[in-house]
Structures are given as structure tokens and as C-alpha cells.
Amino acid sequence: MTVTGLEGIEVTQSAISSIIDGTLTYRGINIDDLATYSSYEEVIFLLWNGRLPIQKELEDLKLKLVQYGTLPDPITNLLKSLPHDVHPMDKLRTTLSALSLFDTHVKDMSREANYDKALKIQSKISTIVAAIQRISEGQEILLPKSEYNFSQNFLYMLKGKEPHQTAVESLDKALILHADHELNASTFSARVTVATLADIYAGIVSAIGTLSGPLHGGANEAVMKMLEEINDIENIEPYISEALFTNKKIMGFGHRVYKTGDPRAKHLKRMSEKLTILTGQRKLYDISTRIETIIKNKKGLLPNVDFYSASVYQSLGIKKELFTPIFAISRTSGWTAHILEQYDNNRLIRPRATYVGLLRTEYIPISQR
């Protein structure tokens, strides 16, 4: 039986994350516990190693993420040369691909080398995304500071000043919530790529390209565009009614895997309320909650991880064009975990397709056509 979009088809085995009865876990640990008690660096270690780190291991990881944050000069020059009107995801894809050319160990396929490359990619992708924004604003590129954690450093490299602790905590939690999600589209594309024994950079570039689509990583950017178009509480009802009448897709609702609600959404909703109040943008939260109520009542759909992440990032002063690249920063931890797992027990991924075209078609020479 052919299943469109491979929905419900199990194509591999993985010990990284699971979605069972609507509960998301990373290496068996409930996402609610990780979002409440953990840090993004701890989650990186967990995804890559299958267990939580001890203090020394966590400190070593944090140090490496800072040390590897510097970009080669040619990469910096490349970033500055890219067209300003190109979407940041396209810039990120191109830059990440070019970055592989400056890694002298790119073809070393030992697990130790690949783990080290995963560290480099995780660190540098944060610097690259911040640099894309800084360059577009005519500002100098900043590098991570050793006294900051991963989330602090990204906000510092983005804004050029010490970030507010609430902002740091909110971003860190958002990165944790987006870090992995079983065999999603971008993770699958990464595993397909490296299953050919292509290098880890090629796998990440494939994943970035997949994430750039509006049905995957681009959804929260689309949510923010919708919130901007609505702009006021009184405009919600007519906007949503018109969208439903014309069958316009309202982004940020429903999920192919979750039927009783995305477990990550409640964390982002609480963060949205807290941040919008802190930054004087409560209207964003109020509009969002009203949309949630209407869509739930009229369509029976609940918000997914993308819906409230839009107002969270907006409250952090992040431009909507950067929402998906930040998703990529977070998901890099999951992508690299799956890539390492694929390398450990590799088999070429080569599915079949059910042929539905013409049969026994006669070839006609060009002179007779």
C-alpha cells in the first residue's frame, strides 16, 4: 500500500527522541522536565551522548561551543558579499556549505572527528545567524564570550549588549523545545544525505534546505506575518472568518503527529505571556490567545510549537525573517545527533515508489512525430 507523504510509515530505528501517546521525550526524558529544569547545552550533550552530562562534561562542552564560535575570514567576507534582499535561510544554507571547505577534517569519518565537527557546526551556526542580521544592519560581526552561555551569546552577538536574564531564559527554553522531533522532514533529509556517506556538512545543508519551507520551519514566520496583518483585537474575527471562507491555511495550528495537542505549545504560550508583558507588547499575546480560541472552536485544531514561538521571538526583538534560522540553530543539535546515529549503523536509504504512469508506450522516431 502506498502512503502519501510516508505518513505513519516507520523507516528506521532511533534512540534519540520519541513521540508516544502525545508525549515527546529526548532520550527518554520528558520534554516538560527538560524545558523546566535543563539548559540547551545539557540537551545538546544528552542528544549526542544518550545521557545527561556530569558537571565537568558540561563545562567542557560550553567551552568548546565558545572556542569554535569564530568564523574563518573567507566566510566572513562571503557573508558580507551576499545580496541584502536574500532571505536569511538562503544565506545560512550557502554559508554552511562553504564552511565545509575550511574544515581540514571534513572527510575524516571517524566518530571522534564527526563529533568534533558537530561541535563546530553547532557553535558556528549561531555566529553565522547573528552575523547575517548584524551585516544587514551595517554593524560589525561579534564573537561569543567565554562568560556567557549559548543563549546569552546568541542574543549578545545579535544585539551587541548584555541580554536581559528573562530573554536568555526564554530563548534557552525555546531552543530546548525545538531541538529534536523524531523523524521530521529536515531530520529525514539529513539522514538520507549522510546515508550515502556524504559528510556531516552535506547532511546539515540538506536539513537547512528542507527546514526553509513554509510547511516546516517557516511556519512561525508566517504566524508573525498574520499577527502583523491583524494588528488589533477588533480585526481578528473578520480576518479569521475571511481566511476560513477562502480556505486560506492558518499557520501554527494542528500537527500530523499530535492529535491531542503539541506538548511544546504550552511552554511557549507561558513564555509569550511573560515576555509580551515585560516588553510592553501584550497585544500580541492577546491577539494570539483569541485566535487560538476561534480556531479551536471552529476547526477543532490546537496550536503547535510554531504558533506562540512567533510572539516569543518578536518580544525578544528578533526580526521575523530570522525566526526560521533560529529554529535551525536549535534543531542542529537534533540533526547532528541523528547524523551521528546514522553513521554508527549505516545503510543506504533507498525507498521505492509505486509507478502510476503510462505502460508500454511506443517510441516514435522524431521524423514521424
Active site residues: 255, 306
Question: 3-class SS at 86?
Answer: coil
Rounded distance between C-alpha atoms, residue 134 and residue 128, angstroms: 10
Q: Grid coordinates representing 358? A: 503510462
Instruction: Record the cell numbers describing residue 170, joined without a space.
Output: 526564554
Enumerate long-range contacts of 293-298, CB under 8 Å, 24 or more apart.
294/236, 294/237, 294/240, 295/240, 295/250, 295/253, 298/240, 298/244
Distances (CA, A) of 34 to 47, 86, 196, 282: 12, 35, 33, 27
- Cα distance between residue 303 and residue 271, in whole Å: 14
Report which secondary-structure segment, H or E, holds 24.
Answer: strand 23-26
Find the angle CA(57)-CA(162)-CA(84) to the nearest 5 degrees.
100
Alpha-carbon distance 341 to 39, whole Å?
22
* Rounded (10°) CA dihedral 348, 353, 358, 359: 70
Which cell goes with 83? 545580496
